[in-house]
Amino acid sequence: MKITRIGDVQNSLIRLILWQVGKEPITDRHLRAAKDHFNNECAYCGEKKDLDFDHAVPINKTSLGQQRVGNLVPSCTDCNQKKGQRHFNDYLSSDPDGDIRISRILKYMQKCSYTPLGNNENIKALLENARKEVAAVADKHIAAVNKLLAESPTMPSPSPEFPAAPVLCALPSVVSDGSNAVNGSPYTDTDLAKICLAKIYDIKRRMNRSWLNLRRGCLDQMGVSVPHGTPKVGASSRAFAKRSFEATGLNYPEIVALLDQHFLGLDPKH
């Protein structure tokens, strides 16, 4: 069962805002160019391993990363997990070759015309206000629903066994602030992640679609320009994404994050 904490809702809103700010199309061509820039090596350790993609600047309220081409760098599984939600400067600060690797990442960002938002206090203040507004809206509507239940003769009052609360139920959630992959939204609750993946896999099997179709379908639903091959494939991929959303309750960025955490659909062989 997927239950949501108010903090999860707040963090999802922050990621959504940062994801949308200055967003740009990200295609397979961009991802191949990123690998080429780093000579098909991990941007953090320089090893030629199986590569995923990581936000060098994490998408969270502290680092203010964005879903931009210049913020996506190739990363091996080990570095992806070790780096987590840390800024690339922080992660590489103790590396003997850290200065060289940081310089290389900065040159790639410059090449892609990506300038990190940095420690912008005005933006952080706006995001903090957004977090407070979400909590206030939740409190307002929870109170309104509870009042309606209490006053309506046709509706049951809240059961004493399940007392009404002024905040969203605080139970485990799939989304957390652990290590990130492409969108910076990982899944540390392994059991819940497996449940969501199992539901999506069942849809995948019935629709005879690939993980790449799901990734592209989610990105398409989010307004990101992606290639589909044919209009029919595009429609099917969007339908795959929609059914996955309905089955799991995850939004499209969170589904992409779940795929990233398990390295699914990052290139056609998957």
Q: Final residue of a domain: which of 65, 81, 111?
A: 111
Residue 100: which domain range? 6-111
Q: Is the pLDDT of residue 180 over 50?
A: no
Tens of pLDDT, residue by residue over 94-137, are: 999 999 999 999 999 999 999 999 888 999 999 999 989 988 99
Neighbours of 189 (CB within 10 A): 17
Whether 48 is in a domain gets the answer yes
Global pTM exceeds 0.85:
no
Do residues 107 and 11 share a domain?
yes
Whether 86 is in a domain gets the answer yes
Whether 166 is in a domain gets the answer no
Whether 102 is in a domain gets the answer yes
Q: Final residue of a domain: which of 88, 111, 134?
A: 111
Q: Is the pLDDT of residue 157 over 80?
A: no
State how many domains the chain has: 2
Whether 169 is in a domain gets the answer no
Q: Final residue of a domain: which of 111, 146, 173?
A: 111
Measured CA to CA in angstroms, residue 230 lies from 201, 221, 227, 264 at distances of 23, 16, 8, 22
Do residues 12 and 102 share a domain?
yes
Tens of pLDDT, residue by residue over 63-82, are: 999 999 999 999 999 999 89
What values do phi and psi take at 72, rounded to 5?
Answer: -100, 115
Tens of pLDDT, residue by residue over 221-255, are: 888 877 888 888 888 999 999 999 888 888 888 89
Whether 133 is in a domain gets the answer no
Do residues 100 and 197 share a domain?
no
Instruction: For residues 28-47, give the mean pLDDT.
Output: 95
Q: Determine the pLDDT at residue 198.
A: 87
Q: Where are the alpha helices (DSSP H) in 113-176?
A: 121-151
C-beta of residue 42 within 8 angstroms of C-beta of residue 79: yes
Whether 178 is in a domain gets the answer no
Sorted by sequence, the CB contacts under 8 Å of residue 188 that are 6+ apart come out as 176, 178
Concatenating the DSSP letter of every residue in 179-222 gives --SSSS--B--HHHHHHHHHHHHHHHHHHT--HHHHHHHHHHHT
Give residue 256's identity as a one-letter amino acid code: V
Q: Determine the pLDDT at residue 148.
A: 86
Whether 118 is in a domain gets the answer no
Q: Is the pLDDT of residue 168 over 90?
A: no
Do residues 13 and 107 share a domain?
yes
Do residues 16 and 107 share a domain?
yes
* CATH code for the domain in which residue 60 is found: 1.10.30
